[in-house]
Amino acid sequence: MFKNHQKIAQQMPKKLLVFMIAVLLSTQFLTAIPTPTSHAANYFIDVSSNHANYKAISTLRRLNIIRGFVDSTFKPDKELTRAELLKLAIAAKGIKVGTPAEARTPFKDVSKLDWFAPYVQFAVNTKIIAAQQNFNPYNPVSRVEAVKIFLNLFAIALPPTITSQPYFDIELNHWALSYVWAVKFRNLLPIDGDLFEPEKTITRGEAAELTHRLLAITTNKVNRYNDDLEVDFSALVITDESEPKEARDLILDRAYVQIDELTKQSVEQVRKSTVNIVIFETDSKQQQAGGGSGIMITQDGYILTNKHVVGRGAEAAMVLYKNNLYDFKIIAVDPLFDLAIIKINSNGFTPAILGDSDAVEIGQTVLSLGYSLSQYDDSLTRGIISGRSRTITASGGGFIETLSGMLQTDAPISPGNSGGPLFNLWGEVIGINTAIDTRGTNLGFAIPINDLKGVIADVIATGELVRPFIGVRFVTLNALIARGGNYGSNKGALLMPGLDGESAIVPGSPAEAAGLQTNDIILKINGIELDDANNTLLNVVQRHKPDDELKLLILRNEQLQELLLKIGSKTAPIPTYQPPPEPTIIRLY
């Protein structure tokens, strides 16, 4: 059939052939697509203005990313094939590929005669898809496969750790968990209900919607609220000569985290749950004297903050949230950490999303939000995680404490940020900003959120904050500290007196009852070897509850011994109103 058409065309005069082609184009194609009078123009006869994906389809057609069929239809409810998916994604990215004749692919079912061959070649070269025996170009695409290809091509950053299911049918061990979580977090697909249906085939209309929303958050080609905005595409030209370089460039581009976009979205989320705490000169609450920050953790007004922020009592402070001032009640304070939980008598708030601080890595980007200098609310700073499991001695608000297991960050933390969130690019709170070291620059410290989750749950359930307590003072050993003395071990918790001369073993404590002595080194608890990272003495004990029994392996006078210790409990009194303290140099904000 095609050979006969080619013969007829060769026998025609060129002018007549050009004229016939022009007539066909003008009658069959151009008249089938009405000239739009606005961004709401109806390009396809089967996509009306009330279609769920109308806006996305119209915008992509106007940008010449998609085209319909000869009969002026788009068939939005038709299943999308694998070949169509690659073409749509690559075209939306603004990438030009070579011709089919130039294409070389590893698939047996993709030849140089196939229109989609260059798209497949590009996807393989840039590792968007894996090189296998067959590509199956005409097979329908599942929703989860489409999401993976689009998010990889658009270099959408995926969360490093996920602790909750985005949908009921996406388990925490699902291979596409991070992709689906990103879809939900960024609202890339309009999914109603609690099911994602990952194996459901994606339609042409849904794929257009996904493309449109990705363009809206990664480029200025489209805007979710004003689709009249158009900007030319910057295309990558893929040819035999330039292909390796361009492929490497795209792989590199995909490796970069889109920090600016993620920052804006995560801040928008976290600021909904961040509050300011206004501190006054006196209990009459007439003159502001300072301030701090807090994190809303429930819809009915429970707030997490530092205890030094409310150390003068609730009578001298109020919560400022969305230009409204609230009186609050101090529910509980932590005897070990610089932590307080307060409550305001209202509801309808947006609670923070609590992340996984154990998964935080050095070098990871983090953000801080708070009431800087008690003047500038919603002040944002950005930095990285500089260290983990830091131990510091800090003072302020009438408290002097040794805080262990702290996260260190170079995100600038100002007076007033204390009690506010340290969070990742996914809007998950991973720490509570607590202290700075003024001897250096940008040395900030935050309490890891995982150390507080159990406490939060207990306080909300019982109204009390009770900590497991064994009653020792100790130093966490590591190789560096061990070089300074003949301890017999470079790991574990060395029990020693405090700097103020207080005993290493608290009188009347569970440690004394168990027979622990000064200079003992606790090596293991219930078989867990103590270290200076996630398994410090404090961390391991805090994973238990009062009355739990611990089996301790200790080193005493170079001899190993085992002791049994029954955990006790410790609470802290609720702060009441105190006059402002005398000015002093402090390192805790």
The values of phi and psi at residue 515, to 5°, are 95, 15
Domain boundary among 256, 275, 303: 256
The answer to whether residues 327 and 298 belong to one domain is yes
506-528: b (≥16 Cβ within 10 Å) or e: beebbbbebebeeebbbbbbeee
Residue 266 makes CB contacts below 8 A (sequence gap 6+) with 367, 423, 424, 425, 426, 427
Reduced to 3 states, what is the DSSP secondary structure of residue 20? helix
The answer to whether residues 27 and 133 belong to one domain is no
Query: Contact 230/219 with Cβ under 8 angstroms?
Result: no
The residues with which 562 forms a beta bridge, in sequence order, are 553
CA-to-CA distance for 306 and 395, rounded, in angstroms? 12
- For residue 484, pLDDT beyond 50: yes
What angle is formed at CA 334 by the lines to CA 531 and CA 567, rounded to 5 degrees? 55
Domain boundary among 224, 256, 288: 256
The answer to whether residues 132 and 157 belong to one domain is yes
User: Which positions are catalytic?
Assistant: 308, 338, 418
Long-range contacts of 324-331 (CB under 8 A, 24+ apart): 325/278, 326/301, 328/303, 330/574, 330/575, 331/302, 331/459, 331/463, 331/465
- For residue 511, pLDDT beyond 90: yes
The answer to whether residues 444 and 577 belong to one domain is yes
Structural domains of the chain, count: 4
The answer to whether residues 487 and 443 belong to one domain is no
CA-to-CA distance for 451 and 543, rounded, in angstroms? 9
CA-to-CA distance for 432 and 305, rounded, in angstroms? 7
- For residue 452, pLDDT beyond 90: no
pTM greater than 0.85 (yes/no): no
CA-to-CA distance for 369 and 547, rounded, in angstroms? 38
Could you please report the per-residue DSSP string of 545-566?
Answer: -TT-EEEEEEEETTEEEEEEEE
Query: Contact 442/429 with Cβ under 8 angstroms?
Result: no
* pLDDT value of position 500: 66
The answer to whether residues 512 and 421 belong to one domain is no
Query: Contact 313/581 with Cβ under 8 angstroms?
Result: no
* pLDDT value of position 531: 84
* CA atoms in the 13 A half-sphere facing the CB of 490: 7
pLDDT tens digit string along 17-60? 444 444 333 333 332 223 233 333 457 888 888 888 988 998 88
Domain span holding position 545: 467-570
- For residue 112, pLDDT beyond 90: no
Please state the rounded mean pLDDT for residues 515-519.
94
Quick one: pLDDT band at residue 155, thresholds 50, 70, 90? Answer: confident
Where does residue 447 fall: left (phi above 0), alpha (psi -120 to 50 degrees), or beta otherwise?
beta
* pLDDT value of position 265: 81
CA-to-CA distance for 466 and 480, rounded, in angstroms? 34
What is the separation, in whole angstroms, between the first and last Cα of the chain? 81
| Bridge-based pairing state of the strands 376-396 and 399-409 | antiparallel
**Percent of the chain having pLDDT more than 90?**
27
- For residue 80, pLDDT beyond 90: yes
The answer to whether residues 489 and 534 belong to one domain is yes
The answer to whether residues 280 and 300 belong to one domain is yes
CATH code assigned at 308: 2.40.10.120
The answer to whether residues 484 and 347 belong to one domain is no
CA-to-CA distance for 351 and 274, rounded, in angstroms? 9
The answer to whether residues 367 and 432 belong to one domain is yes
User: What is the distance, to the nearest Å, from the Cα of residue 481 to the centroid of all Cα atoms in its chain?
Assistant: 35
pLDDT tens digit string along 370-415? 888 767 778 899 999 999 878 776 655 555 566 778 899 999 888 8
Q: How high is the mean pLDDT of the chain?
A: 79
The answer to whether residues 456 and 533 belong to one domain is no
* pLDDT value of position 585: 35
Q: Of 197-211, 307-321, 430-444, 463-477, which gets the smallest average pLDDT?
A: 307-321
The answer to whether residues 21 and 72 belong to one domain is no
pLDDT tens digit string along 163-214? 778 898 999 899 999 999 888 888 899 888 889 999 999 999 999 999 998 8
CA torsion 176-181-183-186 (nearest 10°) is: -160
CA-to-CA distance for 211 and 462, rounded, in angstroms? 48
CA-to-CA distance for 358 and 539, rounded, in angstroms? 11
Q: Of 17-26, 345-354, 488-497, 524-533, which gets the smallest average pLDDT?
A: 17-26
